Amino acid sequence: MRVNLPVSNNEYDFPADELLMSTTDTKGVLTHCNAPFARVSGFTMEELMGQPHNMIRHPDMPPEAYKDMWSTIGRGRSWTGFVKNRRKNGDFYWVQAHVTPIMRQGKPVGYLSVRTKPTREQIQAAEALYARVKQERESGRQTIVIHAGGVRSTRVWDNVRKCYRTGPTVRLAVMLLPLMLVSLVPGWMGWNDGTAMALQTLAWLVTAGLVLARYHASMTLPIRSLRRLLNGMAAGDLTHHEPTLPMTHVLGKVMARVQRLQLNIRAVVGDAMEEMERFSSISAEIAQSAQDLSGRAESQASSLEESAAAMEQMSSTVENSNEAAQKVLRESQHSADLARQGGDAVTDVGQVVQSIEQSSRKMGQIISTIEGIAFQTNILALNAAVEAARAGEQGRGFAVVASEVRSLAQRSSEAAKEIQSLIGESATNIERGARLMQSASQTIGQVVESVTHVNALMGQMGVAAREQADGISQVNEAVTLLDRDTQQNAALAEQSAASSRAMSDSAAVLGRTLEVFRVD
């Protein structure tokens, strides 16, 4: 037997009007339970479903009780008994269990168990009974056994006394005994005339009347009680209570079965009412959610229409930006070409300036040569003048020529110096212009490089603009599809809201139908 541990000494109390209902298959696996059953057991619905029912078994319960239960319900009979169960946290609670087989084609296919809260006296009696069963099992001497949820003595005399106390047939026989004795009196007295016959007849009539009156009284009250119970059930009142008859009474088993039927119907209808209330609440929430969803879907559809229009406008703007970027790219390429041409022209000018600078250097060299010639000519003129002075009168003409030559040499030297000065200034200006041209060439080169970089950036911007245009086009298509889907969702939400309202109406009708039954 499964032993569930740990256990505590804390008893869990639950309302007396609650019915704990569950169903199992023929192997004891839970297939359904109501909310009170789950709450009292301490487990959740998910933890209970598909698990063996003995997961709530308490170790204090004697195995004989469960053996008797399975033996009884396995034969297709109902079983009623007191059971101590264990909660998930180890606490315990007592129930009076009413187990009824679910029959299909004469065979049990499952079991319906409805549990009620027992009284404190019933709990104390059950504790004493189970303690006695355990004690007798351990001692090996059993005087009582659990049978059909009740107690049966193993002693023959106890069973005989029980029959005398409660058996209707025995009671009838006891009531007829005086009639038999009276009928024997005339024979004992030796009466053989009409007086004896009249006395016997009178005795028979009186005794029979008393017996019938007693038997009628013993049957009328239970029948009336049973009729009141059935009338209440027929009127939908599942709370009507009648005293329980002894099982030995001729109507005791009938009353017990009707009461068990009332209890089962009360549990099923009560569970259905609770589920119907929950179903109505859920259907109302679904209807409200569907209504909210429909409103949000319509609002979203309107927003998507505005988004689609904005996306179209953005697409047009991006297209214009793309065209402007392409135009700027073309202008940038043209500027780059012009900058390169300007750079080439500056380079050519620089080369020309370098050629002029080289020519100026050559001219300076030539001027230096002229100055040297003028200097030598001047020296030769001086020498000629000296020689002419020595020659006297014959050299006077030569002296005049030498003087003119010396004067010409001096003017040539002065002119050469002026030219040298001009060439020096020109060389300085040319050198300065060459440096400026070189700087301008470098600047133009940087401009060309910058324009080339800008051109590359504009190319990238153009590619990015095209990709952005493609992306916006795809987003626009997606927004269009989303707008269509949103409109469809809005229609579906409206249909769902209508279905929820219809379901809520159906739940209300079913709830009004179940209101015929009274369960509390």
pTM: 0.54
For the segment 372-399, the average pLDDT, to the nearest whole number, is: 72
Cβ distance 388 to 396 under 8 Å? Answer: yes
Whether residue 11 has pLDDT greater than 90: yes
The architecture CATH gives domain 20-154: 2-Layer Sandwich (3.30)
Mean pLDDT of the chain: 76
For the segment 355-377, the average pLDDT, to the nearest whole number, is: 72
**Confidence (pLDDT) at 37:** 95
Q: How confident is the model at residue 322 (pLDDT cuts 50, 70, 90)?
A: low
Q: Which residues contact 85 (CB under 8 A, 6 or more apart)?
A: 41, 56, 57, 58, 92, 93, 94, 95
CA angle 479, 481, 486 (to 5 degrees): 90
Phi, psi dihedral angles at 52 (to 5 degrees): -65, 145
**Confidence (pLDDT) at 164:** 47
Domain spanning 322-503: CATH 1.10.10.1100 = no
- Please indicate whether residue 35 or residue 196 has the higher confidence score (pLDDT): 35
> Picking from 57-66, 141-150, 308-317, which range would have the lowest pLDDT averaged per residue?
308-317
- Sign, CA dihedral 424-430-434-437, equals positive
Whether residue 519 has pLDDT greater than 70: no
Whether residue 337 has pLDDT greater than 80: no
Whether residue 194 has pLDDT greater than 70: no
Whether residue 267 has pLDDT greater than 70: yes
Torsion on CA atoms 324, 330, 331, 332, rounded to nearest 10 = 100
Which DSSP state fits 59?
T
Give the Cα separation of 72 and 152 in Å (integer).
Answer: 14
Name the strand (E) or helix (H) holding 478. helix 396-514
Torsion on CA atoms 267, 273, 279, 280, rounded to nearest 10 = -170
Cβ burial of 84 (10 Å; 0-12, 13-18, 19+) is buried
Give the Cα separation of 423 and 13 in Å (integer).
Answer: 127
**Confidence (pLDDT) at 70:** 95
**Confidence (pLDDT) at 188:** 58
Cβ distance 260 to 245 under 8 Å? Answer: no
Q: Which among 339, 321, 325, 335 is positioned nearest to 459, based on CA atoms?
A: 325
> Picking from 17-26, 138-147, 333-342, which range would have the lowest pLDDT averaged per residue?
333-342
**Confidence (pLDDT) at 58:** 96
Q: Which pairing describes strands 92-104 and 107-116: parallel, antiparallel, or unpaired? A: antiparallel
Same fold, 20-154 and 322-503: no
Q: What is the residue extent of each domain of the chain? A: 20-154, 322-503
Q: Which among 326, 367, 160, 167 is positioned nearest to 248, based on CA atoms?
A: 167
For the segment 457-473, the average pLDDT, to the nearest whole number, is: 72
Whether residue 205 has pLDDT greater than 80: no
- Please indicate whether residue 110 or residue 147 has the higher confidence score (pLDDT): 110
Which range scores top for mean pLDDT: 97-106, 175-184, 416-425?
97-106
**Confidence (pLDDT) at 15:** 95
**Confidence (pLDDT) at 53:** 94
Cβ distance 110 to 33 under 8 Å? Answer: no
Cβ distance 491 to 298 under 8 Å? Answer: no
**Confidence (pLDDT) at 277:** 76
For the segment 76-99, the average pLDDT, to the nearest whole number, is: 95
Give the Cα separation of 319 and 473 in Å (integer).
Answer: 11
Which range scores top for mean pLDDT: 138-152, 261-275, 316-330?
138-152
Cβ burial of 520 (10 Å; 0-12, 13-18, 19+) is exposed
**Confidence (pLDDT) at 499:** 72
For the segment 10-15, the average pLDDT, to the nearest whole number, is: 96
**Confidence (pLDDT) at 291:** 73
**Confidence (pLDDT) at 89:** 96
Name the strand (E) or helix (H) holding 137. helix 120-139
Torsion on CA atoms 223, 229, 235, 238, rounded to nearest 10 = -170
**Confidence (pLDDT) at 345:** 67
Whether residue 501 has pLDDT greater than 90: no
- Sign, CA dihedral 175-181-182-184, equals positive
Q: Determine what percent of the chain is predicted with pLDDT higher than 90.
A: 22
Q: Which residues contact 146 (CB under 8 A, 6 or more apart)?
A: 62, 64, 65, 68, 81, 129, 133, 152
Give the Cα separation of 3 and 142 in Å (integer).
Answer: 24
Q: Which among 144, 6, 119 is positioned nearest to 62, based on CA atoms?
A: 144
